[in-house]
Amino acid sequence: MRRLVRLGGRLVTVARVAWIGALFCIVAATARPATEAPKEREYSLLWDTVDNSFVRPVTRFFDEPLIGRKLTGHKREAANVDERDQVRLPSTWWQPRIGYKRVTVQQMLKGPGGTDGPAGRRWTVTSAKSAGVTPGFQIKDARGDRFLLKFDSPDHPELSSSSEVIGTLLFWAAGYNTPENTIVHFHPESLDVDPEATIKERLGQARSFTRERLAQLLSRVARRPDGTVRCVASRFLEGKPIGPFKYYGRRGDDPEDLVPHELRRELRGMWVFAAWTNHVDVRGPNSLDTWVTHGGRSFVRHHLIDFGSILGSSATAPRSLPAGTEYSVDNGVFLRQALTLGLVPFRWEGSVDPEIPSVGQIEAAKFDPRGWRPSDPNPAFDERTDRDVRWGARILAAFTDEHIRAAVGAAKHSDPRATEYISRVLIARRDALVKEWLGSAPAESAK
Amino acid sequence: MRPARRVSEVIFLLQVHWILAGTASAATDSLSAQNTISAAPLAATPAGRAASDLAATTAPPWNPPSALPRRRMWERIVLLPQRIATLPLSAVGWAAEHALTAVEPYAYTIHRAAPGDTSQTRFRMAISPSRFDERTPFCGQIEARSTLLKGRADLVVAHTASTRHYHDTAVQLPGLLTFDYHYRWRPRDLFYGVGMRTFEDDVTTFGTGVHQGRAILAYAWNRESGGRPRSNLVGWIGPRTLVTRRGHEPGDPSIELGFPDVVSETLDRRLLHATYGVRMVRDWRVGTPHWGTGWRAVMETERFDVAKGVLAAGFSGARGAQFTRSTILLETGISFMHDPRSIRLLGRFVDTGLSGGRDRMAVIDLPSLGGDAGLGGFRPGRFHDLDLIHARFTYVFPLLQKVEAEMHVESGAVLGDLWHDFQIDRMEQSWGFSVRPRSRYQLLGSLGFDFSRESTRLRWMIGNPDP
């Protein structure tokens, strides 16, 4: 026999009340503000590609409200802006710097850390990884600060490391949180191995790390003529790492994350800087949230990391020619090519290889300041409106030639042609973006 | 019914919650400024601010009074039916994301397990696309390799089996002079009769068992930097026995029911041949990811003769038809633009000179068209006769960085005598297209359709589809 209770003047079964109660308990539990560090979360690179390149384009194709907004020209604007169309502050995503405050070249070069990389002449390796094209080491410097050493592919010396440093400085100056990345050179003999050090081998097993293994791994990285090794020293970020952020939705376990990421001006407007620096790999896995405690307050800070795949670099090799002109799976390009039997040239065809090994493949002549695209669709970029882009363009316009040349100079290319070429390309791409979106020269726009 | 109703109730309640969650915070969408510091551009504050606050903030961030919904309420209502309908897909997506997240840290083990250079592997098992017949999608292979003569020679034993019970057992002793033995069993090949004037409804099926031993001498030259020879010359000699059996394709009659005359002298009868032949290949095709320019020429002639004495090599059987089969294949291509668009032209001719025992000509020895053998819009084995002519025009063009398209038109015919019976109006046509995933350096497979007056056929392949 079914038991009945009276609820809101109606008789309902006890079972139904239990169902509704359980449901609201679940909702309440998920909505409860976190009082401790959010749980560290993993992010699948492959899923990110599948989701953004295949699943989301299909769902967007059948998204009636989105289609309606597009047809009527009423795209949803960023949700965290004020009446002057500026990002509401404070923000744990973005800090007003160039364009909002006087940022000297020296201040930009100091960047997020304000130091020149690891201190002292002897560093201690505390752990290592052997997977990937190049190895990686975690070290402690003379002050006890921890850094990650990242190396160039032996086939493409200086390519990835220079991109990493240039990207770090430019994105930091634009207002984003980045790690402190510095070019360092060291003699292999100046590395000590911590007796407790371990190495994560290719198959995932951890072993104790020895001096001999260190020598083996260093034989896989590029050496300079004087025997030293060049690498990027990336200072560990402040706080506890809790995994990458996504460019859509909210982090449910962060009580201060109340604006869906795709509605954030900082992320939508980042398209401008990604286009400028050819950051085609701008996606969730190249970000990192940390749980920071300051003055008794704990909170999540959002960082951009891994700039080794920007400009002309794809981390271990030069960028492919199509990078920046189309998505890896680009439905529009696919349709155009299929309908014209491939007789319409791709936008990238005719691009010129600068033939400077440490530059890779980037140029300004074929740069499209309106149609630039990352490798995979980015949810926040997909939602961007002209107002978002103009917000970014105004910041970009405030980058002077001196800022750009100084950031490129920090990459310490051994080939002066590389420094000059990248500087010229970045200046030309900045001018193209600013002219396209603000309709005037950068110097005028910045005023 | 009751559990189903419970599930639908829960789904309904979740959707209601989804909509209501929007209404609770919809008011904040207007974003009235509360406790907000605004980032003012330099133009608005000429003096700028002190440079000391360039560091990331530690202050509590601005936030609306409550979480903003990703969608406005009207959008949620519009999307509600779609969301309910696609809930199963959402579940699949959720599972895929979590599975990939869990597996990905160990993905390098999968990369390690991928086959690399297996030429020196002692024991190997593999599942690969079928090598027998396009109607058998996959095959499994076991291969064992043993060193003989103090390391001077390798003995390779391999067995390959496919989904339709096609089998191939091979024993090979590679070297300057390679000794090679094969036993092949093909139980379900198709036969529609001899010539072009055959009918699709007359399909029959037959099986073939072949034992073949060969001594092979090969010489290669004009090696490119990667080691691949552009030219090679191969000669072989050895005995072969062949037996035609009743077919085992479900739904299709066996060959002796449809074409008793064709197999009256060969069915269930072991025929013995001494075979010897020579093949010369010149391959000057170049280009990545698909070959775009250059040419190749293949010339082959093989004699199937009476096996006597040492040429029989212990094999036994009745005397089969004696014939010489000559094949010429010529292919050339040009390409244009940066990401190559390529045009290719291929011509193939097969001539069979029959010198005796016409009634003992085995069906499997007749050249055929249909499927992978040419005229892809027709079923495999659709046309059989002594001679063959086949031409193919192909256009390849890129669709995306990692995908290209291929379109082709084919024309071909089988003939009793290529030199006397050829009539252009007897040639059949087939056309088709395929989409081919590619890396920067090679093709990875293909998927497409072929069309003919008889059928539309789905064609696919894993691995490089260009021969």
Contact yes or no for A95 and B67 at CB 8 A: no
H or E element in which residue B396 lies: strand B387-400
Distance from CA of B213 to the nearest CA of A (A): 44
DSSP A182-239: EEEEE-GGGEEEEEEEEEE-TTS-EEE--HHHHHHHHTTS-B-TTS-EEEEEEEPPSS
Which positions ≥6 away from A359 have C-beta within 8 Å? A159, A311, A312, A318, A418, A421, A422
Token reading at A168: 């770090």
Query: In terms of Cα–Cα distance, which of A161, A171, A163, A162 is closest to A111?
Result: A171
Is this complex's ipTM strictly greater than 0.90?
no
Q: What is the pLDDT of residue B39?
A: 61
**pLDDT tens column, B59-89:** 999 999 999 999 999 999 999 998 899 999 9
Q: Do A345 and B338 touch (CB under 8 A)?
A: yes
Measured in angstroms, the CA of B451 and the nearest CA of chain A are apart by 19
Res A21 pLDDT > 70? no
* CA within 13 Å, CB half, A73: 1
Per-residue pLDDT reduced to its tens digit, B282-322: 999 999 899 999 999 999 999 999 988 877 777 888 898 99
What's the pLDDT band for B121 if we cut at 50, 70, 90?
A: low
According to DSSP, residue B411 is labeled E
What are the tens digits of pLDDT across the range A88-127? 999 999 999 999 999 999 999 988 877 778 888 889 999 8
Split at pLDDT 50, 70, 90, the class of B33 is very low
Task: Tell me the nearest-neighbour CA distance from A189 into chain B, angstroms.
Answer: 31
Chain A residue numbers touching B339 (CB-CB < 8 A): 346, 349
How far apart CA A366 and CA A349 sit, in angstroms, is 9
Question: Using the beta-carbon criterion (under 8 Å), do B54 and A92 form an inter-chain contact?
Answer: no
Look at residue A381 in the predicted model and tell me its pLDDT: 97
Q: Note whether A19 contacts B82, CB cutoff 8 Å.
A: no
Give the pLDDT confidence of A389-399 residue by residue, as tens digits.
Answer: 999 999 999 99
The pLDDT value recorded for residue A9 is 59
Per mean pLDDT, which range of A152-156, B44-48, B369-373 is the poorest? Answer: B44-48
Computed over every residue of chain B, the mean pLDDT equals 85
Q: How far is the C-alpha of B206 from the C-alpha of B194, rounded, in Å?
A: 14
In A, minimum Cα distance to B435 occurs at A338
Residue B51: per-residue pLDDT: 42
CB-CB under 8 Å, A97 with B41: no
Query: What's the pLDDT score for residue B117?
Result: 47
pLDDT tens, position by position, B155-212:
899 999 988 889 999 999 988 899 999 999 999 999 999 999 999 999 999 999 999 9
Where is pLDDT greater, at B188 or B130?
B188
